[in-house]
Structure 1
Amino acid sequence: MHSTILGSSSLHWPDESACEVFARALAQRRELRDAFIELHGPLGAGKTTFVRHLLRALGATGRIKSPTYAVMESYSLPDLQVWHFDLYRFSDPREWEDAGFREILTGPGLKLVEWPDRAAGLLPVPDWRMELAPRDGDQREVMITAYTPRGAALLG
């Protein structure tokens, strides 16, 4: 799976506004600038919603599309490059290799990957693994696990 766990945090988001507040606070952390975050959870868990709130907090304007069909959307923000991946449509981990995204994930900038299990064993160790679990109504339980010193610092 991943290397040693350096920290973890469990959160409860009672509604979408709690997700937005969390994203805004996270956007202020300088450690986020080159982070790699895996986003796990079933369909409808709020992975893309979280990414949208985070991108807005980082200064993205205009339409923020889900990369479900394009696989990747990139955003050139003031002093920051962000890549948002959605690997849901991959049926074989080798599709990740064939797509040529390895350089992006190991390079500078913020990398957010939904459905990373679709590239099982081919992705680098993430700074954070976020598990979003839907509960009644708009509530979400969120488990964040840090696997790198950067990830641990982000837990802050």
Structure 2
Amino acid sequence: MSSTSQEFTQEFYIDNENDMVAFGERIGRSLRAQPKSQCVFLNGDLGAGKTTLSRGILRAFGHTGAVKSPTYTLVEIYEFAERRVYHFDLYRLGDPEELEYMGIRDYFSDGSICLMEWPERGKGILPESDLLIDVSVQGAGRKIQLKAKTNFALA
């Protein structure tokens, strides 16, 4: 782990889909331990595994059902006893201003977790991320890079 101007970076290699879900669960457990709202940016090409990672994060909160990428609805809401998790997919967003029309600022309150796929499409409207996750294909697996402004410890 290294730090550059108050940013902490960690890298991991994930072998397969099951390991990606398990890694997501570790991230989710760490997010659950945070008392405040968290904004998580998930970057990566189509098919890199962002939604699979999100499935693991949601499992850490107790979700047992399917997790689909909210490409057409923009957001899926998951209600849990202790907090809400909003899973956004901004891939089809035409203009960042559309986020204002849907009341995006209301999602970043009350200890909520916002998972944002394709966050660059909301540039200028979205807040800064608390945790940035870059997912890239590397051989048969995936390289995951976590960047946080604070020392983010995996559970």
Q: TM-score, normalised by structure 1?
A: 0.85
1:120 and 2:123 matched: yes
The answer as to whether partners of 1:5 and 1:145 remain within 8 angstroms in 2 is: no
Instruction: Evaluate the alpha carbon distance shift between residue 48 and residue 33 of structure 1 in structure 2; reply closer, same or farther with a 3 A threshold.
Output: farther
For 1:37, the equivalent position in structure 2 comes to 40
Question: 1:57 — aligned with what?
Answer: 60
Q: How does 1:76-115 map to 2 (within 5 A)?
A: 76-115=79-118
* Structure 1 residues not aligned, in runs of 5+: none
Aligned residue in 2 for 1:21? 22
Structure 1 CA distance for aligned equivalents of residues 41 and 13 of structure 2: 18
* Residues 35 and 111, structure 1, Cα contact 8 Å, conserved in 2: yes
Contact map agreement 2:27 2:154 (CA 8 A) in 1 = no
Tell me the equivalent position of 1:132.
135
Cα distance 1:133–1:114, how it changes in 2: closer, same or farther (>3 A)?
A: same
- Match in the other structure for 2:8: 7
CA distance in 2, matches of 1:21, 1:89: 28
For structure 2, list consecutive stretches of 5 or more residues without a partner in the other structure.
Answer: none
Pairwise CA RMSD of aligned residues?
2.0
Give 1 or 2: higher helix fraction. Answer: 1
TM-score (norm 2): 0.86
Report the 3-state secondary structure (helix = DSSP H, G, I; strand = E; otherwise coil) of the residue aligned with 2:108.
helix
* 1:18-68 per-position Cα deviation (integer Å, ceiling 9, x unaligned): 212222222322028632100001100100011012112220133323211
One-letter amino acid matched to 1:13: I
How has the CA–CA distance of structure 1 residues 21 and 70 changed in structure 2, closer, same or farther, with 3 Å as cutoff? Answer: same
- Report the AA paired with residue 47 of structure 2: G
Verify the 8 A CA contact 2:51 2:67 in the aligned structure 1: no
C-alpha contact 1:7 1:155 (8 A) present in aligned 2:
no
Alpha-carbon distance between aligned partners in 2 of 1:91 and 1:59, rounded to the nearest angstrom: 33
CA distance in 1, matches of 2:103, 2:90: 13
